[in-house]
């Protein structure tokens, strides 16, 4: 109903502008090409009105398209949910545990972070996704993950149709010999199909097959990553906060035990926090169920500790491998290639020996600022972006360098 009300009542007409972006244009183009070619090829290969199997195949194909578009547009237009501008907790004493957002002129609720692209504090922000031109957060996490599941399934079905269509249409046109292979694309079949399978149709089917297989692999990997996050009830930003918390405890030998507060101890319980029968996730995006040994502000207090501690505000790394700044560097390993951050933020080239102050990261990639010379700093230069984790090694902490980049922190 949220999806329908977005368009029927036109309350969010300005949100339609999200479609005018390279991410949705590419995503919708891939969906349109694969769906259209699969429908046309299914008519050639398995005419739906002749057999029960053909009817089921055609209905499933239409079903994939509808479900994919439904979840895609919901992820885009329903949005992640935003903290109200100027928000304050009901208990004024809780403000000492919260960070203040100058952009939104209010406090950041637990698990919320400020998105520079959306220019709002996002509820349970995971990341800003360019493919939906919106953030992935509290309200649209289920829709986004469902889209990541349905897209590979639909593309796999379409790929089977493409392969079977090319096989059946070319089978009688290909003559195999001991030394030669002759392909006659103009040969006439004994039974003419409802639609001709010409050379352009073959080329279009082959192109759609490549898109379908590529989407299945790439989006399937993203689905696995998102499911790992959901089953731990943890976002990618919170994973970095947890990593820095353990590093802080180890460095100062405080003896304290850091427990991630939002992991409820059961994958099923964590799963139900996102996926519900109604489609609306549990909670209001401000108050969250927590581990018995934690409270609502356990993680925000840890963030304040890290903010006050210049040593862990940004972690210093030194480049041990050259990196040319490619978005998907195959030379850095398959995991780095397939798990490249799904974001519009830039990549920064590295040369061996460069120093970087990392402010956040994932298992395979890190985000931070390259330490520049004094002349570059005076000129106002700043080099900030993502780089492969395998290209750097952690080194000593430079408090002075951290002072020059005190505004670099995880929003």
Cβ-based neighbour number of residue 218 at 10 Å: 17
CA angle 399, 401, 403 (to 5 degrees): 70
Residue 228, SS3 per DSSP: helix
Residue 52 corresponds to which tokens in the numbers above? Answer: 């029960």
- Cα–Cα distance for residue pair 47/55, rounded to 1 Å: 8
Helices 141-171 and 22-45 pack at an angle, to 10 degrees, of 40
Q: b or e along 382-393 (b: 16 or more beta carbons within 10 Å of the residue's beta carbon)?
A: ebbbbbbbbbbe
Give which of 7, 149, 28 is closest to 77, Cα–Cα.
7
Q: How far is CA 283 from CA 96, 277, 280, in A?
A: 23, 14, 9
DSSP secondary structure, 255-267, as one string: ------TT--S-H
- Cα–Cα distance for residue pair 78/76, rounded to 1 Å: 6
Q: Which residues carry out catalysis?
A: 129
DSSP secondary structure, 136-183, as one string: E-TTTHHHHHHHHHHHHHHHHHHHHHHHHHHHHHHHTTEEE-SS-EEE
Backbone angles phi, psi at 197, to 5 degrees: -105, 90
Give which of 84, 229, 77 is closest to 143, Cα–Cα.
77
Residue 306 corresponds to which tokens in the numbers above? Answer: 């890290």
- Cα–Cα distance for residue pair 103/114, rounded to 1 Å: 8
């Amino acid at each position: 109903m949220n999806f329908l009300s977005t368009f029927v009542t036109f309350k969010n007409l300005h949100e339609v502008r999200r479609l005018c972006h390279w991410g949705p244009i590419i995503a919708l183009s891939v969906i349109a090409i694969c769906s259209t070619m699969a429908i046309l090829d299914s008519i050639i290969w398995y005419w739906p009105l002749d057999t029960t199997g053909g009817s089921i195949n055609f209905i499933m194909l239409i079903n994939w398209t509808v479900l994919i578009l439904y979840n895609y547009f919901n992820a885009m237009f329903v949005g992640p949910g935003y903290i109200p501008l100027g928000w304050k907790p009901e208990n004024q004493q809780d403000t000492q545990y919260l960070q203040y957002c100058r952009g939104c002129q209010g406090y950041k609720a637990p698990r919320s972070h400020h998105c520079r692209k959306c220019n709002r504090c996002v509820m349970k922000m995971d990341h800003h996704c360019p493919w939906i031109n919106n953030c992935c957060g509290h309200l649209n996490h289920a829709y986004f993950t469902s889209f990541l599941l349905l897209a590979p399934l639909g593309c796999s079905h379409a790929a089977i149709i493409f392969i079977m269509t090319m096989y059946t249409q070319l089978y009688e046109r290909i003559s195999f010999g001991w030394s030669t292979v002759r392909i006659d694309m103009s040969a006439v079949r004994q039974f003419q199909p409802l639609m001709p399978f010409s050379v352009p149709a073959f080329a279009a089917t082959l192109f759609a097959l490549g898109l379908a297989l590529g989407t299945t692999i790439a989006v399937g990997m993203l689905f696995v990553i998102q499911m790992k996050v959901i089953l731990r009830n943890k976002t990618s930003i919170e994973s970095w906060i947890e990593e820095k918390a353990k590093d802080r405890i180890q460095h100062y030998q405080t003896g304290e035990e850091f427990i991630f507060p939002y992991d409820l101890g059961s994958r099923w319980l964590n799963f139900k926090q996102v996926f519900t029968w109604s489609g609306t996730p549990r909670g209001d995006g401000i108050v969250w169920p927590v581990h018995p040994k934690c409270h609502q502000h356990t993680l925000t207090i840890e963030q304040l500790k890290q903010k006050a501690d210049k040593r862990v505000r940004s972690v210093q790394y030194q480049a041990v491998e050259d990196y040319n700044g490619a978005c998907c560097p195959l030379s850095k390993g398959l995991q780095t290639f397939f798990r490249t951050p799904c974001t519009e933020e830039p990549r920064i080239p590295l040369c061996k020996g460069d120093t970087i102050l990392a402010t956040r990261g994932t298992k395979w990639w890190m985000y931070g600022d390259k330490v520049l010379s004094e002349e570059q700093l005076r000129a106002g230069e700043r080099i900030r972006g993502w780089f492969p984790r395998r290209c750097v090694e952690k080194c000593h902490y430079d408090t002075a360098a951290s002072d020059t980049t005190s505004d670099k922190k995880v929003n």
